[in-house]
Every structure is written in C-alpha cells, then in structure tokens.
Structure 1
C-alpha cells in the first residue's frame, strides 16, 4: 500500500509538472506568430474603427502582426462564439461590446457562448456616447417637450433602431421606462437604413451611437436632444446628458473591450494588457479615437469583467420588465 501511495503521489506530481511546463511553453516568448483580432460586426462601424486603431499599434508594441478579421452576423454572436471557442493561447482575441456581452445574452439565453464564463477580459479599449435625435423639421426642441408630447400621444410617435435587441433598442426601452412613456419601436437592418428614414421623416426619433449620427447633426439635418455620457460632449456643448435631465438609467455609454478565450494564461493576459495600455497612451492613437467619437479607457481585466457583469444584469432586468422578444418585428 505504501508503494502504491508513493506511485500515486509521483504520478500526480508529474501531471502537475506537465501542466506547468505546457503553460510555460504557451507564454514563453509570446507572441511568436500573427494574432487574429475578431471584430463581431461588419467593417466600417465604430467597433471596427476602434479595433483597427488599436490593432495597428499593438502590432508594433508586440512585435507580431495583429490582424483584424470581421465576422459579422447574429447581432455579433457569430464572432463572439468564435472567440469563446478558440484555443486559449493568445493568438485569437475578440472585441467585447454591450451588444455581444449584455444585450444579446439577455435577449437570447440560448446563445452558443456564456458572456461571463466564456471569455477572459483584458481591458475596456474605449467608450462612446449615445445620442437621442429628432429630425430638424420636427417641432421638438428638447427632452422635456418630447416627454410632454409623448404623454399627450401615447404610442403615436416612433423611434428607429438598427434592430431588435440592439443597444439602441435597449436605450429606447430604458427611456420609456424612465419617463413613463410609450413609443413605438421600428427596427431596421442596421443603423444606415434607420438613419435614412429618420432623415426622411418616416420615423420621429432615434437612439444611436454618437459617431454614426454626428455628421448629420453637424450638417444640420438632425437635432440632438440628449447624450449618454459622464459629462457634456465637447462636440455638442449645448446638449445635456440624460443624467442632467434626471434620467440616470439612460446615461450609460457604449463600450468596446478586448477579450480572450476562457482559460487564457495570466501571463498572456498581463502582456496583452500592458501592450494595450501603452498603445492607448500614444497621442496619435488618442487623437484618432477621439476623431471617431470614442474615448480611450484601458482599465484592468478585473474592472472590465465587472463592467460586463453589471451591464448584463441591467439588460436582463430590462428585457424581463419590457417583455422583449428577439423575434419582435
């Protein structure tokens, strides 16, 4: 029995050593080859822009190419699933968003990934404000006037979004809850078609990421009524935040994080985090971010993990309260 016990201890010790050796082999000299950064949306949007700004300089910082790969579809779920199922070796990374890690999971509990356990957070790369706009031809001048109009005509006004169970949809629903009003949701297949109909007067208002709408605001075609941000946006100094208007629950910005597959070694996460923090401190990177309407962040892995959990719980509560269904038309 004594010899058998010793043999078991030796076997266990050997297994532990092999695991440690394998982990060291994974992290020693990392990275040794090209890193793929999966963006879960099509090219051209804010998520894609933020990812490419960071990837470009991360390549120089890490000494290996960081190649952006767009895998759109399913409201971001296709790309997110690919990241969650990838090898945890640091060579496949992904962009986390409010849509992929909070809204989608809240609307669809049957997703192929767990937004919390299915990823290793690295950092929040950037945040962007959201904005409520109306067509300039509309008589509405501010949020107070809009709320009065909505209460006089419940269900008669419409708001456009880039689709059901998107961050824009959730902002609209939170606005309805916070103001005690009812607005008819009109989902589109993307922000572009939604904006086109808002500009054409087919819908009354829209909740959108500020970068998508800013050119139309600056061009005088849309009137901004409020923004979701910690303070007034420099580009729109006369537009109040939702918090200023007493609507704190509507004041959450959009964010774009960096995540790795689950069980990615700590040493790899630390190296990625350190590289991103350096990149986000580069003046040129910060200027490019701000020009696209984004504000660089670069917080810790634990802080980004907490952001994901907080936003997920908020979205779950909102979806339940409003009875939102993914197949809503």
Structure 2
C-alpha cells in the first residue's frame, strides 16, 4: 500500500476534525448559573428573571440563581456582568435604561453595551399608557396637545426617575408637540400613579400593568398606548399613532445577555433553552399579564435592537439639552 492518506481517509478527515472540535468544547453548564438583576427585588425585571430561571434549570440541568445587584439606575449590576468577560456562569437580565439610555446620560459609564455583552434574546416589551386624572378636561390626545401648545409656562409632569422609559416618553412628547414642560422625578412608579389619581399632576406615561386597573375602574383616563398596536389589556384605547402622533412608540424592553467572549456553543444553547422557556404556556401567560406580547429574537436581532434604541433615545436626550 502506498504511503499517505487514502481518498477515504481524506474524505473522513473533516468529519474527524469537526467531531474533535465538538468534543473539545467544554460542557455547559456543569455548576449553578447566576442571573444578575441590576435592580432591587420586585418589579418587572426581577419577575422576568425568576420566571425564566425555573424552566432553564429544568432544561439545562443546573440551578439558575437570581441575584439582585441594584444601584445607580441599574448600572452597578450591569457593570458587574460586563466585567465577567468570558464567564458563562454570569448572566444579565438587561433592560432599556442601562443598555440604551445610560450611554448618553452617564459621562463615565463602566461598560459599553455594544462590546461588553453577548446578547441572547429579548424577553418582553412593556408599553406605556398616557393617562390623565379622571376629572381632566382632556378627553383625547388631540385636545391635550391643543391645550399644551398654548401653555405659557412649564407644564410639570411626574416620572419614576431619571433614565426611565416614562421620562423618555414624556420628553419625546414635549419635543413632538412643542410645548414647555419639566419632569418631576418621584421615587418609583407607585407615587407617580398616586399623584395622577389625586389630580396633583396633569398627565404622565406609566406602565400598562400599573394603571390598567385604575383605568378600568374610572380612577384614571387613558388617552393612548405607546405600542405599535393596541394593548389587549385595554383594547378600546388607541395607539399614539391612531390618536394623532404618527410613529410615536416608547416603552420598556428586557432581555437576557451574557458577558462578551463566551465559549463556543454557550450562546446558541442558552438561546434555544430560553426561547423554549418563553414558549411554555405558564410563562406566556405571566408575560402577557405584564402587558407584553409573546416575543423572542435571535442574538443578532437583539444586538441590532439595542444599537437602534441607543441612537433613538440619544437623539431625544441631546435635543432636550438645547
């Protein structure tokens, strides 16, 4: 027999190499995985993390443990995950504030959303509702805009804090309609809703799930939702586009991310398991109760969305400083 590889050997070589690479990839996970929630317990982000942790544990065979690392509007916990480069046992339940707003509002941010993370999938999008007190003279968005355009001094409106989707929606409304306004920052959404119900403030944007009950009971009047389509929880409330501001969309979004430089194979496996978790009936039901459609994305789609949202809100924030 002649020395060297036979034709059969040459054909088999790529298969052997491919299988060798597969065998060389470390098994994952082989120990508990932590999901960092960069906010205090409670609320949508914490609930989402705990919601997906159980099905991930079932499908991947290791505990997924939620750790709350709040501080600086979510930037502390987000930075912690960014520093865990290459660590497949540290994940982030990320949100629009730290990932798309902080790059503009924070002068010395300790992470770069474009390079420090490996996006896995978006988990949920929660629309906002433009609400006014029940005794407000504004019956719809057009009458509200007409009145605000005639304002001679700043119109005060409440928000749950700097960098929040509610603040961004309020500033976007001010710029689109053209009227003087100033936000009043409260410590969270609960006191914002109380202020509107009491008639202490003229209007606000707030999470659908937090105001839907007051709207149904007549304690608040909903003028529009900020999603592209009407919200099933309030089907009679028009979108902002339908009500008179075409293309106006705002709200919170949340997704699962890993640090940058993940070992080969981890992100695809985690993505498949997470998308399967989102498709479970109980998870779908609980996410719909947050006012979110049942959605997921590829890692590439999620990365592109983060970049697009960063540009969108950067433009709004920079315009607010002029």
1:279 corresponding residue in structure 2: 277
2:156 corresponding residue in structure 1: 158
Does the 8 A contact of 2:82 with 2:117 survive in 1? yes
Note closer, same or farther for the CA distance 1:201–1:265 as it changes in structure 2 (3 Å cut): same
Q: CA separation in 1, counterparts of 2:42 and 2:270?
A: 25
C-alpha offsets along residues 51-100 of structure 1, whole Å, 9 cap, x if unaligned? 21111211111111111111112111011111111142311100121111
28, 33, 36: which one pairs with 1:35?
33
Q: CA separation in 2, counterparts of 1:247 and 1:254?
A: 19
**Gaps (5+ residues) in structure 1?**
1-19, 325-329
Q: Are residue 144 (structure 1) and residue 114 (structure 2) matched?
A: no
Does the 8 A contact of 1:242 with 1:248 survive in 2? yes
Task: Please state whether the residue corresponding to 1:123 is helix, strand or coil.
Answer: strand
Does the 8 A contact of 1:159 with 1:207 survive in 2? no
Q: CA separation in 2, counterparts of 1:165 and 1:126?
A: 19
Task: Please state whether the residue corresponding to 2:240 is helix, strand or coil.
Answer: coil
**Gaps (5+ residues) in structure 2?**
1-19
Q: CA separation in 2, counterparts of 1:183 and 1:103?
A: 20
Task: Please state whether the residue corresponding to 2:243 is helix, strand or coil.
Answer: coil
Task: Report the more deviating stretch, 291-300 or 229-238.
Answer: 291-300
1:46 corresponding residue in structure 2: 44
1:114 corresponding residue in structure 2: 112
What TM-score do the two structures reach when normalised by structure 1?
A: 0.87
Does the 8 A contact of 1:121 with 1:302 survive in 2? yes
1:227 corresponding residue in structure 2: 225
Deviation at 1:215, TM superposition (A): 2.6
Deviation at 1:40, TM superposition (A): 1.3
Task: Please state whether the residue corresponding to 1:271 is helix, strand or coil.
Answer: helix
1:187 corresponding residue in structure 2: 185
Q: CA separation in 2, counterparts of 1:218 and 1:49?
A: 24
209, 230, 234: which one pairs with 1:236?
234
Q: CA separation in 2, counterparts of 1:111 and 1:181?
A: 32
Q: CA separation in 2, counterparts of 1:88 and 1:125?
A: 22
